Amino acid sequence: MTNLYQKSEISFAILWIVAYVVLTSAADQLSESVGVMKSVTAALHIVMSLILFFWIRNNDLGKKYGFCRSAVPAKRFLYYVPLIIIASTAFWGGVKLQYGFLETALYIVSMCCVGFLEEVIFRGLLFRAMEKDDLRTAILVSALTFGMGHIVNLFNGSGRELTVVLIQIVFAVLVGLVLIWIFYHGKSLVPCIVFHSVNNALKVFAAEGSLSTRADMIINLVLIVVVLGGYSFYLVKMFPIHYSQK
């Protein structure tokens, strides 16, 4: 891995992205065939997380990829309250244990690893590789990758209305923008990993379908305009990025 990384950081990042997406998809299918949700996927994500963590540590790249305390006090990031609000939306429609104990535990483990892997791969490896040549593009790609998971809902026959999916995409892109702003200025990926992991894991306790489509859309619009819009505006004003100085 180190040889490829030294030769091309972007190629290294892309290799991890492809491996993560392909292997996760295959692991999910295997988990279904086993009959225990996330059984194979959780094991895969643990292995991939350990490989990436120890590779970064052994190559003394922890500081570069944000394995450190934030350089900005939490107070200046408003104690990450907007992100806490976002994560709490899993409970707004009620709480329900969707699966048995084993599957719930596997889901939580898998989602925590997903938070680590996706932040390190997309906001760590890919962003750091791209920002050296074009910071604007690096920020744009980092924000868009957080919304890409929802774009597939337009084509996968999920039955979700176009308006609902578009709102989800805008919501996720804004979250991605907030996370890259926090990482770029704070120099730490830890807050991003914690938020991403918790936000994903809590969904296993969400009472899906308890809110109407209209209510869900209204909530998301309020979150986009008030919470994410307001937080994004605050971060951009408080922590401007001078693109001419990379």
pLDDT at 216: 82
pTM of the full structure: 0.92
pLDDT at 150: 60
Cα–Cα–Cα angle for 151, 94, 197, nearest 5°? 50
Write down the pLDDT at residue 88. Answer: 95
pLDDT at 244: 63
Tell me, what's the pLDDT at 154? 52
Distances (CA, A) of 81 to 91, 186, 191, 222, 228: 16, 16, 12, 16, 11
By the 10 Å C-beta count (0-12 exposed, 13-18 middle, 19+ buried), 209 is classed as exposed
Task: Determine the pLDDT at residue 153.
Answer: 52
Write down the pLDDT at residue 144: 87
- Average pLDDT by consecutive 10-residue portion of the chain (246 residues)? 94 94 93 95 98 97 97 97 95 89 96 96 94 92 79 51 80 93 97 96 86 84 94 95 67
